[in-house]
């Protein structure tokens, strides 16, 4: 009869040596659960697969997805877009040197900057990011209760410049036409660092990397750990990768 197990079959099943796949699963499932928790419990299959590869595991995406199911973990979904910048039509603007081609062949070749916001009990917290396109790593960030260039984005830029492992000659700094980035104090600092400013129209970056970083930041960090009481709580406490 189908489904019937004899006593001999039961004893054989109990004493059967575990397969290589079972042994690998027993090793990797706890590792997947640990890495998922260490990365704010938000990584999906793509990011988890990339992380496991960086950890030295030879593993495919489908296997990663299966291990995540066994570990009982999953990624989070993105939210709808949000725009935060306003153009200043009275200013002469730098040319668009990127043309939506957000690729770089080495670090410090192309940085993309943008601003998003987070609602807190004390009011809006504005968050400025500078992302290195080559590594997709946020190299500079700042959180403030104001959008003023010298307070919010300039400090994120200075953080990125301070942490750069080498000169910034040849770097393209790309932002949109928002008045935060087109202010004289900000553009002068970009040039002072040896970088070349580049701008796209407001909203262009949404289709590319800058707004994608903002969206992932809110999806993976903000909405998973709120509600937020103060502006200071919103600031990331360690570097964060956008892929």
- Confidence check: pLDDT of 92 > 70: no
CATH architecture of 110-234: 2-Layer Sandwich (3.30)
Task: Over range 152-169, report the average pLDDT.
Answer: 89
Beta bridge partners of 175: 199
- Confidence check: pLDDT of 110 > 90: yes
Q: Give CATH 3.30.420.10 domain extents, the chain.
A: 110-234
Res 124: pLDDT: 81
Rounded to the nearest integer, the mean pLDDT of the chain is: 77
Q: How far is CA 44 from CA 47, 54, 134, 168, in A?
A: 6, 15, 21, 34
Decide: helix, strand or coil at residue 242: coil
Cβ contacts of 89-93, under 8 Å, gap ≥ 24: 91/179, 91/182, 93/177, 93/182, 93/199
Res 17: pLDDT: 54
Task: Over range 217-238, report the average pLDDT.
Answer: 67
What whole-number distance in Å separates Cα of residue 174 and Cα of residue 197? 6
Res 5: pLDDT: 52
pLDDT in tens, 114-147: 888 887 777 788 888 899 999 888 898 888 888 8
Decide: helix, strand or coil at residue 7: helix
- Judging by beta carbons within 10 Å of its beta carbon (0-12, 13-18, 19+), is residue 236 exposed, middle or buried? middle
Least Cα distance to 140 among 127, 130, 149, 132 occurs for: 130
Pairing mode, strands 110-120 and 172-176: parallel
What whole-number distance in Å separates Cα of residue 109 and Cα of residue 131? 11
Of 5 and 64, more confident: 64
What whole-number distance in Å separates Cα of residue 221 and Cα of residue 213? 11
Res 166: pLDDT: 74
- Confidence check: pLDDT of 207 > 70: no
pLDDT in tens, 163-202: 997 789 999 999 877 767 777 888 889 999 999 999 876 5
Res 208: pLDDT: 58
């Amino acid at each position: 009869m189908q489904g019937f197990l004899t006593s001999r079959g039961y004893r054989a099943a109990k004493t059967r040596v575990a397969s290589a796949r079972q042994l690998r699963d027993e090793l990797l499932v706890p590792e997947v659960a640990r890495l998922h928790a260490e990365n704010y419990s938000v990584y999906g299959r793509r990011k988890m697969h990339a992380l496991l590869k960086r950890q030295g595991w030879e593993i495919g995406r489908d296997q990663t997805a299966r291990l995540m199911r066994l570990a009982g973990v999953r990624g989070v979904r993105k939210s709808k877009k949000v725009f935060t910048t306003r153009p200043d039509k009275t200013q002469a603007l730098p040319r668009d040197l990127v043309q939506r081609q957000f690729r770089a062949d080495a670090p410090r070749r192309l940085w993309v900057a943008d601003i998003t916001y987070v609602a807190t009990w004390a009011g809006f917290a504005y968050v400025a990011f500078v992302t290195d396109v080559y590594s997709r790593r946020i190299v500079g960030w700042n959180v403030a209760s104001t959008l003023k260039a010298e307070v919010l984005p300039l400090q994120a830029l200075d953080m990125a410049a301070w942490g750069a492992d080498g000169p910034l000659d040849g770097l393209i700094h790309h932002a949109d036409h928002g008045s935060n980035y087109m202010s004289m104090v900000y553009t002068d600092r970009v040039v002072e660092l040896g970088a070349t400013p580049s701008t796209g129209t407001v909203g262009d970056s949404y289709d590319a990397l800058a707004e994608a970083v903002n969206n992932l930041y809110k999806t993976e960090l903000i909405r998973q750990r709120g509600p937020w009481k103060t502006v200071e709580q919103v600031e990331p406490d360690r570097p964060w990768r956008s892929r």
